[in-house]
Structure 1
Amino acid sequence: MQKESSSEWPLIDAYGICRQTILPLYRQPTFDSALVSQLLFGECYQINGLTSDRQWFRVYHEDTGMGGWVWAKLIKEITGEEYRKFLNQDFQIVTSPIAAIEYLGTNLYLLPGSRLHFSELELFNWQDHIGFTGNYRPHAVRAYREELIEIGLRYLNAPFQAGGRSIFGLDEELGFSLIFAIAGYAWISGKIPGKSVSPEEAIPGDLFVFRDLEKQESHFGLFLGAEEILWMDNKMKVSDLDEWEDFLRNNTGEQVVFDARSILG
């Protein structure tokens, strides 16, 4: 078991990109630390520190506002110019439960939310010469409510995993923020987008947020219409609103706040 390093060196103007299926971010620079988040193929990050033994790098994911420690052997550095280009130009975002590309002479499997940094025309040409199997959508085009719900339902039965951002393990808040990100709507940690609406005004595709002020935690649900909701228990599931409300009553304190949010407008 690797010991946690006690000293850290700051870094500036250093950047990286995820070039594997999943890149784990840990709370501390050690493998037995808690998982904070995961980055997906094509997501870029800032590198702002490293341990004195150069075995771990501290990174920050600007799109989600999450940061953590990454094992040095998994770091793929890029220039500042490339970082800004990848963040600002249009890119395609994988929507298939599992997709695949040919990368470095072998197949690499991609999960929903992975990024392909090509325009639609470039990707079409790239598919013919490099090889890509799966579905994707342009990130610059915001999804309609029906498409958002389809994206959300692809995570049905994904098991709960703190810090997870994949169909194989999904954190509750990170999972719902990923669903909206795939649909083209930014959601930085702790800053839920959109505007509040009354529960009576909620329509399919709106987000229900239940905040437990005593435990300082939140629960989320994607309203599907017809009194149904997509939410996280021990796994992502669909049930009627009554079952979700019963779960919340049995698992939250007395000081709670309910918020229905329209993110798609």
Structure 2
Amino acid sequence: MISQLLFGEHFTIIDKQKNWSKIKLAFDDYEGFIDNKQYVEIPEETYYNLNNNAVFYSGEIIDFITNTKNELTTIPLGSNLPFYNVNKLQINSTYYLYEGSVLSEKKDKNEILNIAFTYLNSPFLWGGKTPFGIDCSGFTQMVYKMCGYPLYRDAKQQATQGEVLSFIEESEPGDLAFFDDDEGIITHVGIILNDYNIIHVHGKVRVDTLDHSGIFNSDLQKHTHKLRVIKKII
């Protein structure tokens, strides 16, 4: 698994085979394969309307929507709510009712931290994007996405966005810190907090200390990630 599609996300089909389709996500242009049983096709006009309409996301860690037959569909935090209007959403001719909290529009920078802490202690899952399993760049992408700011999917891609800061002292809570491996390839990302702390995914979503060398893990009593660059997105 390289990533996850959450409920309501739309994409183009690049190549449809017997059981699997290669797709490209509208949100971040990420490509991968999806089981043909796990999506419904929509008209091209609907696809472009979704691109141009206001975006709404579910704000509950876990909730459900119901269709007109009272069938339940479980949706995790950050799921898209297509054509949302007064507790109702629509996919093709099917209408759904959703009564949970909704996130929309751009948020202030301090809201990034509030949403980030919603994921605290979520387990690590390679390619994951939900509170039930998430990776480092999936975490930063989802948090920024729900605040109204698009990030690419992978850490090394996200590192190409925003403004470079020369020192930790120049950073603000909500900025991103990137870390590289022994070959200089960026492999990790986290969100800077107050007082030289960072929230990131290492085994789980956790808070550790950030210094000029990188991330110091108090449980292991050692540095686990080597700091490469700090970027200001907002």
TM-score between both structures, scaled by the size of structure 2: 0.84
Whichever structure has more helix as a proportion of its residues is 1
Identity of aligned residues (%): 26
- Quick check: 1:158 aligned with 2:122? yes
Match of 1:65 in 2: 29
TM-aligned CA deviation for residue 153 of structure 1: 0.7
Give the structure 2 partner of residue 258 of structure 1: 228
Q: CA deviation at 1:130?
A: 5.3
- Give the CA deviation at 1:213: 5.4
| Residue aligned with 1:90, SS | coil
Letter in 2 for 1:82: T
Take 2:79 and 2:47, find their aligned partners in 1: how far apart are those partners?
16
Change in 2 beyond 3 A, CA 1:112/1:70: same
Change in 2 beyond 3 A, CA 1:244/1:158: farther
The equivalent of 2:16 in structure 1 is 50
Q: CA deviation at 1:251?
A: 4.6
TM-score, with normalisation over the residues of structure 1? 0.75
1:132 to 77, 85, 98: 98
How far off its partner does 1:107 sit? 1.8
Matched, 1:40 2:6: yes
Stretch moving more, 103-112 or 72-81: 103-112
- 3-state SS of 1:36 partner: coil
**Which aligned runs of 4 or more in structure 1 are off by greater than 6 angstroms?**
none
Matches within 5 A, 1:104-119: 104-118=69-83
Aligned ranges 1:223-242 → 2 under 5 Å:
223-241=192-210
Separation in 2, partners of 1:232, 1:177: 12
Structure 1 residue runs of 5 or longer lacking an equivalent are 1-34
How far apart are 1:257 and its partner, in Å? 5.7
**What is the RMSD of the two structures over their aligned residues, measured on CA atoms?**
2.4
Cα distance, 1:231–1:191 mapped onto 2, change above 3 Å: closer
Given that 2:136 and 2:190 are in contact with CA atoms closer than 8 Å, whether structure 1 keeps it comes out as no
Tell me how many residue pairs correspond in the alignment.
Answer: 219
1:64 Cα deviation after fit: 2.2
- Secondary structure at 2:83 match in 1: coil
The answer (yes or no) to whether the contact 2:186–2:228 under 8 Å persists in 1 is no
1:28 — aligned with what?
Answer: none
The 1:169–1:157 alpha-carbon spacing in structure 2 relative to 1, beyond 3 Å, is: same
Q: Does 1:76 align with 2:68?
A: no
Cα deviation 1:130-179 (Å, max 9, x = unaligned)? 532321111xx211122111111111111111111111110211221111
Give the aligned partner of residue 123 of structure 1: 86
Deviations 1:22-57 (A, max 9, x none): xxxxxxxxxxxxx01111111101101023xx1111
The 8 Å contact of residues 208 and 216 in structure 2, kept in 1 or not, is answered as no
Call closer, same or farther: CA 1:240–1:191 in 2, change over 3 Å: closer
C-alpha deviation, 1:87, in angstroms: 1.5
